[in-house]
Amino acid sequence: MADAPAAARRNDWRTLRTLFPYLWRYKNRVLLALGLLITAKFANVAVPIVLKDIVDALDGTQALVLPLALVVAYGALRMSSSVLGELRDAVFAKVAQGAIRKVALEVFEHLHALSLRFHLARQTGGMSRDIDRGTKGISFLLNFMLFNILPTLVEIVLVALILLQRYEWYFAAITFATIVIYIVFTLGVTEWRMTFRRQMNDMESHANTKAVDSLLNYETVKYFGNERWEAERFDASMARFESAAVKNQVSLSLLNAGQAVIIALGVTALVGLAAHAVVQGRMTLGDLVLVNAFLLQLYAPLNFLGFVYREIKHSLADMERMFALLHQHAEVKDTPGAQTLQASRAAVAFENVDFGYDRNRQILHDVSFTLPAGRTLAVVGASGAGKSTLSRLLFRFYDVWSGRITINGTDLRELSQESLRAHLGIVPQDTVLFNDTIYYNIAYGHPDATRDEVIEAAKSAHIYDFIMRLPDGFDTTVGERGLKLSGGEKQRVAIARTILKNPPILIFDEATSALDSKTEKAIQAELREISANRTTLIIAHRLSTVADADEIIVMDGGRVVERGNHRTLLAQDGAYARLWALQAHEHAGDAAQPEAADARD
């Protein structure tokens, strides 16, 4: 526990070092803003000095005329201080907003570069809150650290120098002592309070994650009638947030009260000494006004400095969580000098591939097969046999443990991920759509496609007529994750999207599993047409959809146990033949049920 503050300080410095390069991209603006800042502070410190001269000029019986020049100088200094401050803010606005934009973009791009393993384990609600708080923290940190803490420190130094030059040493000593006590107290209490702030952040992210996850799974909550259960989980997270928030507010009140006491004691001591010196004739009335003005001018921002420091610490904590995302290791990376895949025809080969999502549980065992260019290969087997893992490895969402996967003889690890995935198109079993229009979701396969090309893809996927029957046609919004469309409609959008991409390698992962029999036959015919002369990998559970494949491999327990075409595998009377017989029996049973019902009627 004793090392916690030191660790926090190290993290704060690391966060600042991470941020600095984003600022230095605008170094000319930064330097100009700092110049305006220092000039404004010189003008600000000069204001009480001119005010002292005005008071002294008016003091006594000899004052018969108004010291007009001093009054004009007083007004000019106050005006220049304010104008220079506004100019400083205007100059620095581009720096702050540009840095926020660059950081946000890098975090966004880095999240897309992270592996599928990270995204399967992430908590989207909490992560989005971390990014939101982090970008806001950058804005606060830049504006208040550079334009409140730094100016206040400059002003403290200038005031101390003036007090040492003009008055007895103890005026500067008391000023410094008050400031040091104030800063030490503020730092100590704020470090203690940061524990509560971090707890608040953690609990808020946790509660937000629970809420987002529950709302994304709204239908599941309703299916099982678990609204009360979800509310109780959310309330438990909010209760922990409430406890941390109360401790945070109580400790804030203690900090504010302590700061007020320190400032009051310092001001009282200095004004008392100045008044005593005036009575003894060692200082003029103008000197008393000068000391008082300095104190008011100095302690006002110093009082605000306590708030600023607390918020900067909070901002650093928020930014720390966001920058931690940038430090997440990208599991799959392009090798230096990675090749760019350019092929109109592509042959795929798995060579002695071993793989598992966890080192303690291997999924694929010595899997080998070849898919020649322009041919169709189907992979069948029971659930959990490792069929869909093949497509994830082909997209290089993960790297194999041993063996290799090649396209036209080149290991995937030697190809750039961008060019590799440009050659692959997939219609997955679970189609997830963006919360946008049907047009956007189809055009996502090729964002630069013309409207006519998008419409043609919709027709090829047999979804065009359905779209045109909708009130808003292609402009119909599909809802969160496409929930406004049925499973079959979503899958046909996915098929249209892949048709539009027009890749040389196609992967159909249970592509027609959510379609009715009539639509499935129409889609199967269309899929056969678009896969003609393309390298096609079909992952299927329903064997009737793969009978025409050039080769079929049967997987069981992550191993290839049989291979051949439909007739050959049936003749072998092995695992494939047993699956075929079982599914044929189930299909016959399903067909007989309506007839039996008709007979009972």
Residue 597's pLDDT band (cuts 50, 70, 90): very low
State the pLDDT at residue 599: 41
The confidence score (pLDDT) of residue 229 equals: 84
pLDDT of 174 over the 70 cut = yes
Task: Determine the 3-state secondary structure of 348 from DSSP.
Answer: strand
Parallel/antiparallel/unpaired status of strands 376-381 and 364-371: unpaired
DSSP string covering 477-518, please?
Answer: B--GGGTTS-HHHHHHHHHHHHHHH--SEEEEESTTTTS-HH
Domain-wise residue ranges, the chain: 16-326, 348-600
pLDDT score at 368: 93
- The CATH superfamily assigned to 348-600 is P-loop containing nucleotide triphosphate hydrolases (3.40.50.300)
Q: What is the pLDDT of residue 519?
A: 65
The residue that leads in pLDDT, 165 or 569, is: 569
Check if the beta carbon of residue 537 is closer than 8 Å to that of residue 390: yes
| Percentage of residues in the chain having pLDDT higher than 90 | 13
Residue 263 CA to residue 471 CA, distance in Å, equals 68
Residue 553 tokens read as 């491999």
Say how many residues make up the chain. Answer: 601
**What tokens were used for 365?**
């065992």
On whether the CB atoms of residues 457 and 497 are closer than 8 A, the answer is yes
226-240, 509-523, 576-590 — which is least confidently predicted? Answer: 509-523
Superfamily covering domain 16-326: ABC transporter type 1, transmembrane domain (1.20.1560.10)
| Among 24, 73, 39, 38, CA closest to 53 | 73
Residue with tokens 């092929």: 343
Phi-psi region of 406 (alpha: psi -120 to 50; beta: other; left: phi over 0): beta
450-464, 483-497, 518-532 — most confident range: 450-464
Nearest residue to 29 via CA among 115, 113, 89, 75: 89
pLDDT at position 142 is 77
User: Which of 255-259, 278-282, 434-438 has the largest mean confidence?
Assistant: 434-438
The residue type found at 360 is N
Task: Encode pLDDT of 34-60 as tens digits.
Answer: 888 888 888 878 877 777 777 777 765
pLDDT score, position 542: 77
Q: Do domains 16-326 and 348-600 have the same CATH topology?
A: no
Lowest average pLDDT, out of 125-129, 230-234, 237-241, 589-593, goes to: 589-593
pLDDT of amino acid 217: 83
pLDDT higher than 70, residue 324? yes
pLDDT tens for each residue of 60-107: 545 555 677 778 887 888 788 788 888 888 888 888 888 888 888 888
Average pLDDT over the chain, rounded to an integer? 80
